[in-house]
Amino acid sequence: MGNLHEGHLSLIRRARKIASAKGTVVVSIFVNKTQFGPNEDFDSYPRTLERDMVLCREAGVDILFAPRDKTIYAAGHSTFVVESRLANRMEGASRPTHFRGVTTVVAKLFNLVQPNVAVFGAKDWQQAAVIRQMTDDLIFPVSIVVAPTVREKDGLAMSSRNAHLSPAERKQATVLREVIRVARAFVKKATTPLPSAALHRKLARLVGEQSLAKLDYIEFFDSKSLEPAKRVSRGTHIALAVSFGTTRLIDNGRL
């Protein structure tokens, strides 16, 4: 959705490696209104297209596709693509229309660009899983590649929304990464699988120690099926969402 940072640039580099010098790397930039809820930050979402164009040019992007709203959503638009199994929990529970907007716009972009490969970031783990499911179900001839999360020096996952954090919020936002670190430590130390409810309580208390943080969810699940895990062990995936004022951040990791 633009406002590119090093995390996005790492996806471009991954795409170039896959395509090689002979291939074509396309970057789409589109702030997609249908994936925002009525009280979310669509109007204030950072739009830095001129800067993004420079970064894409420097990164060796062949085509920058930045369509207008009316190109993607013509007057009278009434068709949506809905994934109904993976999209209902976590982000889907907190943002009920979010994934409907994501799958719809990605399906449109796939149709318009017709890529062989599409690269997404692991920070949005559930999103990548939903897109892969949609791609398989609708038989899009596209391979989905999920590239690693890129982090700031203090461990906070890079996000365009980080710019909205106040200095005090930015300092406390590292609690997302700390929750994953602590969860990994518990799992590594345990000799048997841990009850997810008990581990959730311990991690929720850790978030609660940050005065500016408001926990949305912490969930444990299978990394491929996204099925909830009642007991947590090595290989279980963790995802969480935490708000700081009006800024909502997500992160995830494999335990």
Catalytic residues: 8
Looking at residue 255, its pLDDT comes to: 97
Q: String of b and e for 137-161 (b: at least 16 CB within 10 Å)?
A: eeebebebbbbebbbbeeebbbbbb
Question: How many other C-beta atoms are found inside a 10 Å radius of the C-beta of residue 195?
Answer: 12
pLDDT in tens, 104-158: 999 999 999 999 999 999 999 999 999 999 999 999 999 999 999 999 999 999 9
Q: Is 3.40.50.620 the CATH classification of the domain at 6-147?
A: yes
Amino acid 123: pLDDT: 97
pLDDT for res 39:
85
Domain positions in the chain: 6-147, 160-254
Strands (E), the chain: 26-28, 63-65, 117-121, 143-147, 194-195, 213-221, 231-232, 237-244, 247-254
Q: Does domain 160-254 have CATH number 3.30.1300.10?
A: yes
Q: What is the pLDDT of residue 87?
A: 97
Residues of the chain with pLDDT under 70: none
All residues at 6 or more sequence positions from 185 whose CB lies less than 8 Å from its CB, including other chains:
none
Predicted pLDDT of residue 131 = 98
